[in-house]
Amino acid sequence: MTAFALRCSLCSLVVFLTLRFGSAEEKPQQPTRTPTANTVNTPSPGAAAKRSPPAPRLDWKAGLAAAKITPDTLMWMAGYGARKKPAEGTLQDLYAKAMALEDEGGHRAVIVTLDLIGVLTSVRESVEKQVEEQHKLPPAALLLNASHTHCGPEYRERKGREEEARNYEQFLQSTLVKLVGEALADLQPASLTYGHARAGFAMNRRRNYALPKDDINANKAPNPDGPVDHDVPVLCVSDDAGTQRAVLFGYACHNTTLQFFQFCGDYAGFAQEYLETDHPGTTAMFVMGCGADQNPYPRSTVELAQKHGRSLATGVEAALFANPRPLHGSIRCALEYVDLPWADAMKEQRHYPVQVMCIGGDVTLVTLASEVVVDYSLRLKRELRRPPAIVWVAGYSNGYFGYIPSERVLAEGGYEAPSYAPGIEDKIIGKAVELYQQLEKPATQTP
């Protein structure tokens, strides 16, 4: 018996079971018991529940829309400042996708995800204004989140490339306004479930500042012991026949597996592609988390981006499989701005959007702008979580203007620590907690 050569505890158990009961090859199978009419007609309560789950309550409406936003010219690409030439082609199309939700009281929210580097403030302001005028959607009920792919177009105005950036931004704004309208026009009865699982390819990309200066790895990144957020939160939309229509899922990690000259959504693009291929008819939407100090590892090839995409898609599948919970209740949204404190008080104030969306009683989606380090997500989950409800924290939302350090990262310094003043973390977290507490009180619900 080759099993004797195995030494780990699990294999010892296999050896024990094999010795105790014999293997399938060694011992003839017992004849299968033929079910009697009685066993067929009177299944146990548990078996009956498995065969015919109760019909989901269609207490929501959901609408979906998607638009291709791959540039139709070979624009310069965003994310790596050292690039010396524009894009050379497209490996994978980039998309904007919108999910409109409406609760039984008629409160609505629209979540838009983008395979782009970020959501420029000018885009947010223009789209928010037009959507409010055309569709009566309050600004607080609109979320724009970018995947931060480094293989998308650079549409900030860079010297000598102002016109191509402006043209793309115009195209993006009109596309997003139309997209939101299409998602709202598509609202139809739906049930919602939520769940979460994990994926492990994100690693803290900073060096370990706690190591002594003479340690062999003192100045080396990444840091396998650094803070990470491996959660994969998932919101699933099904139609009145119980067929899955959409999955909205998150992860906190830079989309920087790739550093080449082809337009591509990186791991998040592949994860969405795989989920849509494996579940025909499903719209898969990626929400970027607080991944400012997180990179996918290993990195640098298309094969690795596909592997990470598959890992994330598998995390989503696991969340859908692992006891998803029905979601009921109302949508409550709040959006306010805080002024970020610069170390140099003379520097121009930066208005920083903080948004909270409560979707039903059990999903609290906190969205923070720009490149937020993982400490924010971990802290908000600690402070707001009431299991089994989930707290979902997104970064890269509704504005894009560089790194947002935590107090820890600010004190350590380094790439993700621009010169803000101490207190920045409490200011942002304090606003998120304040909005969350407001939304818990029915009297202050925003329509």
Residues that bind Zn ion (CB under 5 A): 371
Shortest distance (Å) from residue 291 CB to Zn ion = 8
Nearer to Zn ion, 128 or 371 (CB): 371
Nearer to Zn ion, 288 or 319 (CB): 288
Sign of CA dihedral 250, 252, 258, 264: positive
Chain position whose Cβ is nearest to Zn ion: 371
CB 252 within 8 A of CB 377: yes
Shortest distance (Å) from residue 371 CB to Zn ion = 5
Nearer to Zn ion, 141 or 252 (CB): 252
Nearer to Zn ion, 352 or 436 (CB): 352
φ, ψ at 291 (rounded to 5°): -105, 25
Shortest distance (Å) from residue 79 CB to Zn ion = 7
Residue at 40: amino acid letter: V
- For residues 401 and 123, what is the distance between their CA atoms, to the nearest angstrom? 13
- For residues 291 and 377, what is the distance between their CA atoms, to the nearest angstrom? 9
Nearer to Zn ion, 103 or 266 (CB): 266
Nearer to Zn ion, 362 or 371 (CB): 371
Tokens of 198: 């994990």
Buried-exposed string 356-372: b where 16+ CB fall within 10 A, e elsewhere: bbbbbebbbbbbbbbbb
- For residues 145 and 119, what is the distance between their CA atoms, to the nearest angstrom? 7
Shortest distance (Å) from residue 416 CB to Zn ion = 8
Shortest distance (Å) from residue 350 CB to Zn ion = 17
Strand partners, 255: 149
Shortest distance (Å) from residue 206 CB to Zn ion = 13
For Cα atoms 152, 155, 159, give the angle at the middle one, nearest 5 degrees. Answer: 125
Nearer to Zn ion, 169 or 371 (CB): 371
Residue at 34: amino acid letter: T
CA distance to 229, 288, 317, 444, per residue, from 393 (Å): 10, 9, 20, 22
Q: Smallest Cα–Cα separation from 351: which of 335, 338, 342, 361?
A: 338
Shortest distance (Å) from residue 254 CB to Zn ion = 5
- For residues 78 and 55, what is the distance between their CA atoms, to the nearest angstrom? 46
Shortest distance (Å) from residue 343 CB to Zn ion = 21
Nearer to Zn ion, 231 or 371 (CB): 371
Helix, coil or strand: residue 285: strand
* Residue 15 exposure: Cα atoms within 13 Å on the Cβ side: 12
Residue at 54: amino acid letter: P
